Structure 1
Amino acid sequence: MKFSENWLRSHVPVSVNRDALAATLTAIGLEVEEVTALGDGLVGVVVARIVEVARHPEADRLQVCQVDAGTGQLLQIVCGAPNARAGLVAPLAMVGSNVGGTPIKTARLRGVESSGMLCSASELGLDADASGLLELPDDAPPGMQLADYLDLPDAAIEIKLTPNRADCFSVRGIAYDVAAACASEVVPLDVAALPAASTRQLEVELGAGADAPRYCGRVIEGIDPTARTPVWMAERLRRSGVRPLSLLVDITQYVMLELGQPMHAFDLDTLAGPIGVRRARAGEVVQLLDGRQVELDDYFLAITDADRPVALAGLMGGLETRVTEATTGVFLEAAHFAPAAIMGRGRRLGLHTDAGHRFERGVDPELPRTAIEMATRLVLELAGGIPGPVTEAALDEHLPQPATIVLRRARIARVLGIEIADAEVERILRALGMQVVVGTDGWQVTPPSRRFDIAIEEDLIEELARIHGYDRLPTTMPGGSTRIAVPSETRLGEADLRRQLVARDYLEAVSFAFVDAALLQAWGSDAGNVPLANPLSAELAVMRPRLLPGLVDALARNVARQTGRVRLFELGRTFAAVTEPAAAPRETRRIAAVACGPAHAEQWGQAARAVDFHDLKGDLESLAGAAGASLQFRAHASEAFGHPGRSAEVWRIDLDDGPVRLGWIGQLHPRLVRALDLDVDVFAFELDLEPLEQRALPHAQALSRFPAVRRDLAVLVADGVAWAALAATVREAAGPALRELHLFDQYQGPSVEPGSKSLAMGLILQDNTRTLTDHDADAAMARVVAALGDGHGARIRG
């Protein structure tokens, strides 16, 4: 929010200087980002009129001007500005004045005497425009001090507002905070209703329910189309960052900046009536003031004339009904729109307007009629006209009503750590525009309708703290007892998982929880997702259903910046829609990792090779080992984004409730990799955290005093038989005596028939109560051989 210092002081008289005012604004939460001084040191700069202009005899780009500076005689000024012309009114720095640190003296320019300097806005420090002389209105009186004429010196102050302080998007809203902080009072606003001078009006129809519960309008006829924006209004707008355009448009902008109520002016001759507010219909088209033609649907609110859309409610007016320099009759509108009905609409069209910015955050629902009356008064004063009656339509049941809040004296002391005098509490709250009723233990406080951010007792205490002064609150160490949370031994903490992956040479990444719907479509994950009602942008419009899209996008950014070896992981939440009506999305905690490039960092002692499925599988097994988890990998995973021959489902098989699917591991499908514009093979896994974190409570037990027996076994099986299936069969057949099982060789080649493979395994057998005999070991091995033969068609390799 940018505003003029003098404009603010006209609403709240305070004696503090500019620096103190800026410091006060920052201290009460309205952070000042920039203060631009305007018109300091303009003593001796006056309003002047160029009477005659002649070419300089010795320079093509210079002109010799005869200037009326109100002294009774013409002054000769040599000027090189391209817009210097007879009749122009411009600032003149008289001899003896100082402009931009340069003293103005009588000088001779190419042999012609010059007694002063005609000035541009840039030279005076009023604007960045240095293209020519600052043009003043024709009725500006020559000889008047420019500072007096332009209400200088002044300053343009820009503050940064948090989204909850929508009430400070106006000069008057800021004035209430300044009044409270500086022990002053806001000047009462004179907005007495103007009587109607005609019966002309347009009927108003509300058809959007709670989205648009109030709409005010007024017809004004007989306006002078030649009237121009007065200099005092134009300067206040310019110093607030708004470029003056035309009187009627400037009046609506002025009222918005002063009160905070966006307004719009329609050319009356382009309207037939009635005026309505309703949801737009699919396929309706409206051409906006910026010239763009947009197609609407029921996501937008439309302002209609005889049921045809003529403007986008809360955002921008239409080109067809705009006011022009020929407009002699207007229909002024001021309405209240619910924030939820405006949020996101502008971003969907790539449109940002001051009106939309305010309506998204909340505008005082009681302001529309006040704004209409103020705008009417300005139109009549500056351009004449005949006003009709104010037409107002309201749905009272949908208008927000401030609730009375109980503020307890003891609660203030409890929260802030200090006692604030009752008189000071009441002064602060009343200065902020609140209604205060004194009670036995505190106060009954009703916030003004513009303060959407005040709903509970703590909000009022926050107001007291920031106005009374955060620097006046004591610094007190927290007291009381603390409860030490002991981490459960039956769960592996997220920090442990992070450390495990970092030890495996991975870096943690944090990606957005919002993703692009088009990206999810490329992943084949565009079903059952959760779209955002008010996305930050079109690229962040859907809650992520899995971690991998964002993580692979981070990998792609690193690869694009010539990082050949990338290892990333992320812990986060994913979101999925549920079928129950009005139910919140289902959130799932997950962990994911991606890898590409060489398997090992570049070194001389190890041959270079690319990362493969087994490298990532080893990293995952290491992660699972931290929880003591036993994993099973089942080929032919169903994920559409996975390589069909190099992907697997990951299952945990050691839980009491039976096997649980954790997630997916494998190589990304080549088709997806090409769609993501990657030219490397990418391997990844993504798992649910909940079942992965579970671990059995460790129990200490004595080591067996009896020796172990090792037996090796080599079997021939079909090439498609997975080792995980064989291992499960071996463990079940061998029984409790099996302590360890190792696969130490896989062979395919001569002496092994095509389509088969030889797997060699070592079995470690041991008992805690006795020494195993050869008979015991032979019996166990016989059971294993028989089970492998029956279950997998395996036979002992000769």
Structure 2
Amino acid sequence: MQFSEHWLRQYVNPALDSQGLSHALTMAGLEVEELEPVAAAFTKVVVAEIISAEKHPDADRLQVCKVDVGNGEPLQIVCGAPNARAGLKAPCALVGAELPGFKIKQAKVRGVESFGMMCSAKELGLAEESDGILELSADAQVGQDIRALFDLDDKLFTLKLTPNRTDCLSIAGIARDVTALTGASLTLPEINPVAAVHTQQQGVKVSEPDACPRYAGRLIQGVNATAPTPDWMVRRLERSGIRSISAIVDITNYVLLEQGQPLHAFDADKLKGDIEVRYARSGEALLLLNDENVTLSNDMLVIADDSSPLALAGIMGGDGSAVGDATRNIFLESAFFAPAVIVGKARRLNFSTDSSYRFERGVDFGNTVQALERASQLILEICGGQAGPVTEVLHDLPERKPVRLRLDRLNSVLGIVLDAAIVGTLLERLNFSFTLVDGGFEVVPPSYRFDIEIEEDLIEEVARLHGYDNIPALAPHDDLQMLPAAEARLSRNWLRDTLAASGYQEIVSYSFVDEAWERDFLGNANPIALKNPIASNLSVMRSGLWAGLIETLTYNLNRRQERVRLFEIGSAYFAEDAAYREVGRISGLAYGDAEPEQWALAAREVDFFDVKAAVDRLTNGRAQYVAAQHAALHPGQTAQIVLDGQPVGWIGKLHPKWQQHYQLPRSAVLFELDVEPLLQREVASYAQVAKFPPVRRDIAVVVDEITPIQSLLDTMRSSKNTLISEISLFDVYRGKGIAEGKKSLAFLVLMQDTQKTLTDAEADAVMAELLDLLVRHHGAALRN
């Protein structure tokens, strides 16, 4: 919203300079994006009249002019403008004048003295280009300062309004806010109903009252459509970014800027029958004022007569009923259209208008007829004519529901104490009607404040009027208490620290993935689809975290990072009947050499067991690994991770087909586990330290090749013999002396008693018990 400061100050003139007013508006939420003068600075330029203009004796393109500048004796000025002529009034820069970029001095031009310079608009900084000196109106007063004549000491304010402040899309609305902020008196133009001098009315029918609850208009006959627009109006329009077209169109644009109400004038003689507000019929077309021929859809509201659409309601008029120089009778329209009906329609047609911008956000439905009267006043003053009575069709207008404002809630949010008297004064300055209720106010916002709907809106209004600068910036204060941390539970940060210590780096990726990834890579045939995905390749919620790891690996390989360790802690999502389930997961990936390149170690590619070591750290060595199959992992190099008898994740080498799909020179090893089981741990308990030496015994058994080693360890540990302190595998042998399909496993067994030194007989008894378990459960044979 751009406007002239002088225009605003005609309605409200606070005791603030331009910068002070700009700061006040910005601090009140009406951000001043730009404040600039309407013209460059210059001095000593006055209105002058050329008395005579004669050819220069030594130059064909120069003239020697006698110029009256209002000081009695005419000045002699040499001028090269082609339009310089006797009787013309134009700006004259006197000797000593400072123009943008240069200073005027007394000079000789081809031997003839010149005591000033006749100025073009370009030389005054008023235009980028000009063909000659700036021609002024014949009634311009000779000797008057040009800055005063054109009001060039004015400044342009450009507001960057938030979408909710549609009431400030007008000079009157901004003036109301300035009055509320500063307390300065408000003097808006007096609007009196125009007396009807004839009885003719245009028939109006509103077929869609929900879309157009209020429609008003009047016939004005005998207007002079070629009447010139007053200079003051042209100036205000141009300084608001609107070019002058014709008097009637300029007046509707002026009222739009002044009152915030879009208007439209139809050539009444071009109308056929009654006006109807209806939705367009499929296939109807309309040639708009911007010369664009649009095909209308049936959700577009139009103003039509008995034959065809005349205008796109709330957006733009049609060319067929437009006002022209030959227009003598007009039908002036002012209406309130529901924002939901107008929103998006102009953008669909690839343009925007001042009217649609306002109607989309909400126009003051209480000002519809007032704006019509204001435009009628100006048309009669400038273009003449005879006004008829106002035709108005009124249906159910939007209800302004009371909003409750609790005083304690207000003070709690703002962090200050405002009593009821102060708050009531602020609400009165905003013209909000209210009643006092227990503990606060019940406020009914005016029709032009569409944004006041909930209590927080009123709190914001009180805050900005009270002044954000008057609200102290206090540091947050609270009584903090140390919360108990469960000793049997770890934090996710422990998982992060563990993997970081193992050389892994954390990433954070999208929870959205491609549907094909879920189906093919993770075998999820029922992923959760997004209703409004941000991209076509991010259309479903992930049920695993490997997608982000693989993409990050590819990104790093493309940047010549050949050894990569990554992990992510995030959520996986699953659809279950009519509900959804979210599961915390930790996932990791290792790629490249097992160790950074160095002289002491031979290069070796990372393998399953390197990654298994990282998983063992996460599970504190409690995990078991069971051979299994996974769609994303290499057959034969894949295991399901089991913790306390429950499957909690997967580990394995990337499947060769996916390695080829992602064009990876080497394969990656991945793992993924549920987070929750990893956070559970046993609380440390006291155990007496034995004073007696341990006894070590080794046992070697031969079992079938397919027998898992872990099963033998589990069997021996199940004995629960209190003398056993440790059992572990230290050798696996296949070869000479071992039958085909068999393997030899050697275990060490540490035994210790806290009360005495063990005897050989006691140790032999324990070993016999263990051997018996292995024989009975696994068919093991003692190796000789």
Same-fold call, TM > 0.5?
A: yes
**2:46 is the alignment partner of 1:33:** no
Residue 199 (structure 1) shift:
0.8
Q: 718, 722, 725: which is aligned to 1:736? A: 718
Q: Which amino acid aligns with 2:140?
A: P
Q: Which residue of 1 aligns with 2:756?
A: none
For residue 14 of structure 2, give the secondary structure of its aligned residue in structure 1: coil
Q: Which residue of 2 aligns with 1:449?
A: 447
Residues 497 and 438 of structure 1: CA distance in aligned 2, closer, same or farther (over 3 Å): same
Q: Which amino acid aligns with 1:471?
A: D
> Are the counterparts in 1 of residues 585 and 675 from structure 2 also a CA contact under 8 Å?
no
> Are the counterparts in 1 of residues 648 and 677 from structure 2 also a CA contact under 8 Å?
no
Mapped to 2, the partners of 1:420 and 1:453 lie a distance apart of 23
**2:102 is the alignment partner of 1:106:** no
Residues 622 and 323 of structure 1: CA distance in aligned 2, closer, same or farther (over 3 Å): farther
> Are the counterparts in 1 of residues 208 and 279 from structure 2 also a CA contact under 8 Å?
yes
Q: Which residue of 2 aligns with 1:792?
A: none
> Are the counterparts in 2 of residues 216 and 333 from structure 1 also a CA contact under 8 Å?
yes
Q: 1:146-165 to 2 correspondence within 5 Å?
A: 146-165=146-165
Mapped to 2, the partners of 1:785 and 1:265 lie a distance apart of 99
Moved more, 162-171 or 491-500: 491-500
> Are the counterparts in 2 of residues 47 and 146 from structure 1 also a CA contact under 8 Å?
yes
Mapped to 2, the partners of 1:387 and 1:588 lie a distance apart of 70
Q: 1:396-545 to 2 correspondence within 5 Å?
A: 396=396, 399-408=398-407, 416=414, 418-420=416-418, 424-437=422-435, 443-474=441-472, 481-487=479-485, 493-496=491-494, 498-499=496-497, 529-532=529-532, 545=541
Mapped to 2, the partners of 1:468 and 1:213 lie a distance apart of 36
Mapped to 2, the partners of 1:429 and 1:294 lie a distance apart of 46
Mapped to 2, the partners of 1:796 and 1:290 lie a distance apart of 99
Residue 193 (structure 1) shift:
3.8
In structure 2, the gaps of 5 or more residues are 721-725, 754-761
**2:51 is the alignment partner of 1:46:** no
For residue 206 of structure 1, give the secondary structure of its aligned residue in structure 2: coil
Residue 258 (structure 1) shift:
3.2
Q: Which residue of 1 aligns with 2:258?
A: 258
For residue 396 of structure 1, give the secondary structure of its aligned residue in structure 2: coil
Residue 18 (structure 1) shift:
1.5
> Are the counterparts in 2 of residues 636 and 644 from structure 1 also a CA contact under 8 Å?
yes
TM-score w.r.t. the length of structure 1 is 0.70
Q: Which amino acid aligns with 2:33?
A: E
Mapped to 2, the partners of 1:775 and 1:603 lie a distance apart of 49
Q: Which residue of 1 aligns with 2:339?
A: 338
Residue 155 (structure 1) shift:
1.4
Q: Which residue of 1 aligns with 2:316?
A: 317
Mapped to 1, the partners of 2:490 and 2:27 lie a distance apart of 45
**2:207 is the alignment partner of 1:205:** yes
Larger radius of gyration: 2
Residues 319 and 521 of structure 1: CA distance in aligned 2, closer, same or farther (over 3 Å): farther
Residues 489 and 454 of structure 1: CA distance in aligned 2, closer, same or farther (over 3 Å): farther
Mapped to 2, the partners of 1:416 and 1:371 lie a distance apart of 38
Mapped to 2, the partners of 1:89 and 1:279 lie a distance apart of 53
For residue 529 of structure 1, give the secondary structure of its aligned residue in structure 2: coil
Mapped to 1, the partners of 2:392 and 2:611 lie a distance apart of 70
Instruction: For residues 376-426 of structure 1, give each alpha carbon's deviation from its aligned partner in whole angstroms, at most 9, with x where no partner exists.
Output: 4444444445656555555527x2414143453x66555555554665433
Q: Which residue of 1 aligns with 2:643?
A: 654
Q: 1:102-251 to 2 correspondence within 5 Å?
A: 102-109=102-109, 114-119=114-119, 123-124=123-124, 129-130=128-129, 141=140, 143=142, 144-194=144-194, 197=198, 198-206=200-208, 209=210, 213-214=213-214, 216=216, 224-227=224-227, 229-244=229-244, 247=247, 250-251=250-251
> Are the counterparts in 2 of residues 68 and 74 from structure 1 also a CA contact under 8 Å?
yes
> Are the counterparts in 2 of residues 596 and 681 from structure 1 also a CA contact under 8 Å?
no
Residues 776 and 418 of structure 1: CA distance in aligned 2, closer, same or farther (over 3 Å): same
Mapped to 1, the partners of 2:130 and 2:733 lie a distance apart of 83
**2:685 is the alignment partner of 1:700:** yes
TM-align CA RMSD: 6.1
Q: Which amino acid aligns with 1:203?
A: K
> Are the counterparts in 2 of residues 106 and 114 from structure 1 also a CA contact under 8 Å?
yes
Residue 14 (structure 1) shift:
0.9
Residue 21 (structure 1) shift:
1.4
Residue 435 (structure 1) shift:
1.6
> Are the counterparts in 1 of residues 527 and 575 from structure 2 also a CA contact under 8 Å?
no
Mapped to 2, the partners of 1:663 and 1:88 lie a distance apart of 93
Instruction: For residues 131-170 of structure 1, give each alpha carbon's deviation from its aligned partner in whole angstroms, at most 9, with x where no partner exists.
Output: 6669677566263433233333111223444444443333
TM-score w.r.t. the length of structure 2 is 0.71
Mapped to 2, the partners of 1:292 and 1:761 lie a distance apart of 88
Residues 322 and 151 of structure 1: CA distance in aligned 2, closer, same or farther (over 3 Å): farther
Residues 203 and 75 of structure 1: CA distance in aligned 2, closer, same or farther (over 3 Å): farther
Moved more, 773-782 or 46-55: 46-55
Mapped to 2, the partners of 1:319 and 1:402 lie a distance apart of 37
> Are the counterparts in 2 of residues 596 and 611 from structure 1 also a CA contact under 8 Å?
no
Mapped to 2, the partners of 1:575 and 1:294 lie a distance apart of 46
Mapped to 1, the partners of 2:313 and 2:573 lie a distance apart of 33
Q: Share of identical aligned residues, percent?
A: 31
Q: Which amino acid aligns with 1:18?
A: S
> Are the counterparts in 2 of residues 171 and 257 from structure 1 also a CA contact under 8 Å?
yes
Q: 1:595-634 to 2 correspondence within 5 Å?
A: 603-605=597-599, 621=615, 625=619
Q: Which residue of 2 aligns with 1:720?
A: none
> Are the counterparts in 2 of residues 303 and 311 from structure 1 also a CA contact under 8 Å?
yes
Residue 120 (structure 1) shift:
5.5
Mapped to 1, the partners of 2:417 and 2:649 lie a distance apart of 59
> Are the counterparts in 2 of residues 590 and 686 from structure 1 also a CA contact under 8 Å?
no
> Are the counterparts in 2 of residues 90 and 119 from structure 1 also a CA contact under 8 Å?
yes
> Are the counterparts in 2 of residues 201 and 218 from structure 1 also a CA contact under 8 Å?
no
> Are the counterparts in 1 of residues 627 and 636 from structure 2 also a CA contact under 8 Å?
no
Mapped to 1, the partners of 2:77 and 2:29 lie a distance apart of 53
Mapped to 2, the partners of 1:608 and 1:58 lie a distance apart of 97
> Are the counterparts in 2 of residues 203 and 274 from structure 1 also a CA contact under 8 Å?
yes
For residue 22 of structure 2, give the secondary structure of its aligned residue in structure 1: helix
Residues 75 and 59 of structure 1: CA distance in aligned 2, closer, same or farther (over 3 Å): closer
Residues 319 and 566 of structure 1: CA distance in aligned 2, closer, same or farther (over 3 Å): farther
Residues 240 and 556 of structure 1: CA distance in aligned 2, closer, same or farther (over 3 Å): farther
> Are the counterparts in 2 of residues 743 and 759 from structure 1 also a CA contact under 8 Å?
no
Instruction: For residues 612-671 of structure 1, give each alpha carbon's deviation from its aligned partner in whole angstroms, at most 9, with x where no partner exists.
Output: 89599669847954897778796443xxxxx68699999774378x54679999579879
> Are the counterparts in 1 of residues 433 and 443 from structure 2 also a CA contact under 8 Å?
yes
Residue 178 (structure 1) shift:
2.0
> Are the counterparts in 1 of residues 592 and 606 from structure 2 also a CA contact under 8 Å?
no
Residues 785 and 521 of structure 1: CA distance in aligned 2, closer, same or farther (over 3 Å): closer
Q: Which amino acid aligns with 1:654?
A: L
For residue 46 of structure 2, give the secondary structure of its aligned residue in structure 1: strand
Q: Which residue of 2 aligns with 1:97?
A: 97
> Are the counterparts in 2 of residues 168 and 174 from structure 1 also a CA contact under 8 Å?
yes
Q: Which amino acid aligns with 1:116?
A: G
Residues 784 and 512 of structure 1: CA distance in aligned 2, closer, same or farther (over 3 Å): same
Residues 564 and 401 of structure 1: CA distance in aligned 2, closer, same or farther (over 3 Å): farther
> Are the counterparts in 1 of residues 585 and 674 from structure 2 also a CA contact under 8 Å?
yes
